[in-house]
A and B are shown apart, each in its own frame.
Chain A
Amino acid sequence: MTIAQVIFVVISAVVLVSAVLVVVSRNIVHAALWLILSLFGVAALFAVLEAGFMAVVQVVIYVGAIATLIIFAIMLTRREMREPGQQTHRWWPLPALLAMALFAGLAWLLGSLPGTGAAPPALAGEDPVLLLGQALLSPEQYMLPFEVASVLLLAALVGAIVIAGDSR
């Protein structure tokens, strides 16, 4: 294995183990912390793939915003942080089987796609962030989805204010 592959395997192990611990840990704040570690691992994977922008955005949005929001919600709503009840449902083998079938199908599908396993094409000399920005805002590429998404987010923002604000 090359050094890059070793790094990839280590980071993937961190992501997977902490993802399992999110579900397994009984203390709900610990679960949130494992989630943060898992998300950091995904950011590290992006960094290994030389997608610096994706890595940083992953940290800003998932760790900075969403995970912080989750922890905040937990702190505000739960008096008892520990869940004493049973963690598994009695029907758990069935969804486990389904999940494994789904994973196998996805793995087969990705493996059969052309270009899997090939070396990534070298990036053009231009700054990838620059290219991404231009692609998002040029009319013949992704401008319409970008603007639709921003309108959707604005609607969500207004909706949140309408729901949360006191009616005067």
Chain B
Amino acid sequence: MVNLGDFFYTLGMWLQGLLMRAGLNESAARGAFSALVAALLPLIALLTAVPLIWLERKWIARLQDRMGPNRVGPFGLLQVFADMVKIFTKEDITPLGADRVVFALAPVLAVAGVVGLWAVIPFAANAFGVDLNVGVLYLVAAGTLSTLAIMLAGWSANNKYALLGAFRTVAQMISYEVPLVLSLLVPVLLSGSLGLNGIVAAQREVWFVFSAPLAALLFLIASQAEVSRAPFDLLEAESEIVAGFNIEYSGMKFGFFFVGEFLHSFTMGLLGATLFLGGWTGPGVETYPALGAVYIILKGTFVYFLFVWARATFPRIRIDQMLDFNWKLLTPLGLFLIPLLAVVNRGLSESSVWLRNAALLGANVLLAALVLTILGMRGRSARMRAASNATPAPAALRR
């Protein structure tokens, strides 16, 4: 692998040298440096939530033709801080009959599962927590923590609405993990690497969103469902189960879930940028490696904007529609997509990069056209059946 500049590497070496001059031996210096990174990365991740909440509220407001927060500070920038003060000073209630330990553990797990994802995201060349050779699988494994956290929150609160919310979580998050994993497999397949650094390096010429747009779409939909935001926010459907799994939470414990959700969405955006939009690659990265961090944050924010856009646009879907959509459309689509791309990728592995990627794009378009045709035919036949079955309404009702 070509070493694209080493700004962050030099920075790390300089810090380690500083520690060694302060009297530590080499392995201790490396250990102290790792501990520093391990402490800083979650801190940065959690602090990102502050501008994110403001940004999302402004975007949602614009999309819904409102002003959004505009009272506290210029452009409402300080609104989040006001909210933080409010949430810190609220009473922390544990309901009677709740399982106290599990009740307190669930919000922590919810945030931990999200922050854990940041360990493997490469922010620039040589700037990542750890380069796991199983990075993509690690993402799936860390995602299970969030599912667990929501289930525990729903169960421990001793509230039937919370429990119902937890049941919906299991149905939704476990179902949508299948197309999510299938869509994650496509960059793995095209790059020949399970590590996120290898996947970014393989996108130096062509981003995977161009060679596999269907996989990118699958990722977008499935991760929106994993984060369980609208239109997939069934587990907190206000009109049906009040607030869902977090109904009994108040104060900072609720704040944890809230921050965790925002951060999860943005982290999914960063992952989408890493897996499909080339990560930190971009013009000028070779000479100024620190530019890579700017690129990935811009790209991640763009994907995050797509999530927010979907959230502001689509109405909540019903639970049967949610399951049908996953098991009858997304999962089969992913299952067809992977062998198709594998065959095309393997068959043209000797030819030039551009020809191979054009063929991959063509295969994607073909599959998309096929799926849309089948869906159109099914829809038409369903409409015909409905029209032929419809009997004219009684005269009393027809007014």
**A residues adjacent to B (C-beta < 8 A):** 27, 29-30, 33, 36, 52-53, 56-57, 59-60, 63-65, 67-68, 71-72, 75-76, 127-129
Distance (whole angstroms) from the CB of B159 to the closest CB of chain A: 13
The reply to whether A56 and B134 form a contact with Cβ atoms under 8 Å apart is yes
Find out whether the CB atom of A52 lies under 8 angstroms from the CB atom of B141.
Answer: no
A65-B174, A67-B148, A72-B170 given. 17 additional CB < 8 A pairs? A27-B99, A29-B99, A29-B102, A30-B99, A52-B134, A53-B133, A56-B132, A57-B137, A59-B141, A60-B140, A60-B144, A64-B177, A68-B170, A71-B151, A72-B151, A128-B133, A129-B134
Q: Which residues of B contact A30 (CB under 8 A)?
A: 99, 102
Q: Which residue on chain B has the smallest CB distance to residue A54? A: B134
- Of all chain A residues, the one with the shortest Cβ separation from B152 is A33
Q: Is the CB of B144 within 8 A of A68?
A: yes
- Kindly state the separation between the CA atoms of A65 and B175 in the bound complex, as whole angstroms: 11
Q: Is the CB of A52 within 8 A of B133?
A: yes
B134 touches A59 (CB 8 A): no
- For the complex of A and B, the 6 pairs showing the least CB-CB separation, nearest first, are A64-B144, A59-B141, A56-B137, A60-B141, A56-B134, A56-B141
User: In the complex the two chains form, what is the Cα distance from A63 to B145 in whole Å?
Assistant: 9
Kindly supply a per-residue 1/0 record for chain B positions 100-143, scoring 1 wherever the CB is within 8 Å of any chain A CB and 0 otherwise.
00100000000000000000000000000000111001101101
Q: How far is the CB of A109 from chain B (nearest CB, A)?
A: 32
B residues with CB within 8 A of A = 99, 102, 132-134, 137-138, 140-141, 143-144, 147-148, 151-152, 155, 163, 166-167, 170, 174, 177, 194
B163 contact set on A, CB distance < 8 A: 75
Residue of B99, B147, B167 touching A75 (CB-CB under 8 A):
B167
Choice from B132, B144, B170, B177 contacting A59 with Cβ under 8 Å: B144
Which listed residue (B99, B134, B140, B152) contacts A64, Cβ 8 A?
Answer: B140
- B133 with A29: CB separation less than 8 A: no
Taking the nearest CB of chain A, how far is it from the CB of B195, in angstroms?
8
Specify which chain A residues have a CB less than 8 angstroms from the CB of B155 in the assembled complex.
Answer: 29, 71, 75
**Docked pose: A71 CA to B99 CA in angstroms:** 15
Q: Is the CB of B137 within 8 A of A53?
A: yes
Distance in Å from the Cβ of A128 to the closest Cβ of chain B? Answer: 7
The prevalent SS among residues of A at the interface is helix
How far, in whole Å, are A68 and B146 apart by their CA atoms in the complex? 11
Cα A56 to Cα B218 with chains together (Å): 23
* A79–B99 CA distance with the chains assembled, in angstroms: 15
Per the bound structure, the CA–CA distance linking A29 and B163 in Å amounts to: 13
The CA of A33 and the CA of B155, in the complex, are separated in Å by 12
Known A-B contacts A29-B155, A72-B170, A75-B167; A36 and B138 likewise in contact (beta carbons under 8 Å): no
Q: Is the CB of A63 within 8 A of B134?
A: no
Interface centre among B141, B151, B163 (most CB of A within 10 A): B141
Q: Give A60 to B180 CA distance when docked, in angstroms.
A: 14
Nearest A-chain residue to B170, judged by Cβ: A72
| Nearest CB in chain A to that of B27: its residue | A3
Question: Contacts of B140 on A, CB cut-off 8 Å?
Answer: 56, 60, 64
Tell me how far the C-beta of B188 lies from the nearest C-beta in chain A, rounded to whole angstroms.
10
Contacts of A63 in B (CB 8 A): 141, 144, 148
Report the bound CA distance from A27 to B194 in whole Å: 40
CB–CB B137/A60 < 8 A: yes
Q: How far is the CA of A67 from the CA of B170 in the complex (A)?
A: 12
Q: In whole angstroms, how far apart are the Cα atoms of A72 and B137 in the complex?
A: 23
**Closest partner residue, chain A, to B156 (CB atom):** A29
Enumerate chain B residues within 8 angstroms of A56, measured Cβ to Cβ.
132, 134, 137-138, 140-141
Query: Chain A's nearest CB lies how many Å from the CB of B164?
Result: 10
**Which residues of chain B are near A127, meaning CB under 8 Å?**
133
Residues of A within 8 A of B141 (CB): 56, 59-60, 63-64
Say how far A126's CB is from chain B's closest CB, in angstroms.
11
22 A-B interface contacts by CB (under 8 A): A29-B102, A29-B155, A33-B102, A53-B134, A53-B137, A56-B134, A56-B137, A56-B138, A56-B141, A60-B137, A60-B141, A63-B144, A64-B147, A64-B177, A67-B148, A68-B147, A68-B174, A71-B155, A75-B155, A75-B163, A75-B166, A76-B167
